Amino acid sequence: MKLIMLDQLNQLEHEALDSLGQVKTAEDLAVWQGQYFGTKRTKGALDRTLAALGTLSKEERPAFGKRANEVKQSLVAALEVKQAAVKELDLEQMLKAGALDVTLPGTPIPQGRLHPSTQVLRRIIRIFAGMGFEVYRSPDVETDENNFELLNMPPEHPARDMWDTFYTTTPGVILRTHTSPGQIRVMRERCPKPIRVVLPGMVYRYEQVTARSEMQFNQVEGLAIGRNITLADLKGTMSEFARQMYGSDQKIRFRCSYFPFTEPSVEVDVYWGLETERDRMITKGTGWLEIAGAGMVHPKVLRNGGYDPAEWSGFAFGMGPERAAMRLYGINDIRYFWGNDLRFLEQF
C-alpha cells in the first residue's frame, strides 16, 4: 500500500512540474495553482493525495509523510520561480505594447504657491532693494526695553497704549508689537556707520480682529541713518515706493501724526475710493487707506542706538504688506489672509 501511494506522489510531482513548465501567463499560473494547491472552495491534487495518509499504518506514515513534505516543498519552490518569471515576462510585454517613450516629460506634479502676504512682502523688499536698502532680520520675541524703553517709551508712558501687548511668563519678555525694536539692534551693531535697511517680520498685538486689523500680521520696518538725511529724503523714498508699488498715477498723501520714536511723524496714505459702503468702512469714510507710519528718527532713539544726534540724522517707516495687498488687489477684508480659505488663496 505504501509503495503504491509513494508512486502516486512521485507521479504527481512529475506531472505538476511538467505542467508548470508549460505555463506562460499569470492566468495560466493561477489555474495551475488551483489545480494542485486548491482554492478557497476546492481541494487541489496534492491535498487529495495527502488525505490518504489516514489509511496507512503507523509504521508506513513517517516515510510517506516525509516524501509528501518533500514534494510539497519542491512544488512551492518551483511556483515561486515561475511567478517571478511570469511577472518579468508580463512587464516586458506591457512595455512593448505601450511603446514607452522615455524622452517624453513625466506627469506634472501639482505645486503649492506662495501665500499672497509672502508675495507682496517680497515685492516690497525688491522695491526697497532697488533703492539701496538691505534686509536685516530681528527676533519675534523681544525685551520690553528694546520694544518700548529704548524707543522713547519708558514704563507708564501713555504711548504704550497704542500697542496692546502679548506678555510672556518671563518678566520683561514680550512678543514684539512692531518691528521697530530692530532699529535699536541694527544701530548698536553698526554704529558709527551709515545705515539703510528694511526689517521684515511678523508682529503681534492683542487687538480685536476686524476687516482692517488683525492680531498677527507682517510688517516691514525701514531705517536710514546718515550725516545729512532730511524729511525730504523720507518723502521722496515713500513716493518712489508708492509709484513702483501701485503705478505712476497713484494718489498719495502725507498726514501729520505722532509716534514716540520719530519727530516729526507722518502717516502715508494711498487713495482707495468711496464707491461702495465697504469702501467707506475700510477707509473710515475718507477714501484713503493708511499704508505706512513714518518720520524722522527721534534724537533720543538715535542716542540709544549709539549715534550722536548732533552729527547724525535719519528717517524710519513701518508698513504692513497685508494693507498693501488690500490696495493692490482690491481685497476688502484683511481677515481673508489668515482664514486659510483655498478659494481665496488659489487666486494668487
User: What average pLDDT score do residues 93-98 get?
Assistant: 71
More confident call, 341 vs 162: 341
pLDDT for 262-284, tens place per residue?
Answer: 999 999 998 888 888 877 877 78
Residue with cell 515706493: 241
Q: Is the dihedral of CA 32, 37, 38, 44 positive or negative?
A: positive
Confidence of residue 303 (pLDDT cuts 50, 70, 90): very high
Count of other CB atoms within 10 angstroms of residue 186: 20
Contacts (Cβ under 8 Å, ≥6 apart) of 267: 254, 255, 257, 290, 292, 293, 294
The Cα-based distances of 114 to 272, 331, 340, 348 in angstroms read 26, 17, 13, 8
Q: Which residues contact 306 (CB under 8 A, 6 or more apart)?
A: 187, 188, 191, 192
pLDDT value at residue 98: 65
All domains of the chain, ordered by start, with CATH?
2-98 (no CATH), 116-345 (3.30.930.10)
Please, what sign has the CA dihedral across residues 252, 254, 255, 261?
Answer: positive
Q: Which pLDDT score, from 0 to 100, does residue 5 have?
A: 65
CB 252 within 8 A of CB 319: no
**What mean pLDDT is predicted for residues 81-92?**
81
Confidence of residue 1 (pLDDT cuts 50, 70, 90): very low
Across all residues in the chain, what is the average pLDDT?
Answer: 85
pLDDT at 88: 83
Identify which of 196, 233, 146, 194 has the alpha carbon closest to the alpha carbon of residue 311. Answer: 194
Whole-number pLDDT of residue 310:
95
More confident residue, 253 or 325: 253
Average pLDDT over residues 191-208: 91
For 207-223, what is each residue's pLDDT tens digit? Answer: 777 766 677 888 999 99
Q: Which of 222, 200, 176, 207 is nearest to 334 (CA)?
A: 207
Please compute the mean of the pLDDT values over residues 309-314 and round it to a whole number. Answer: 96
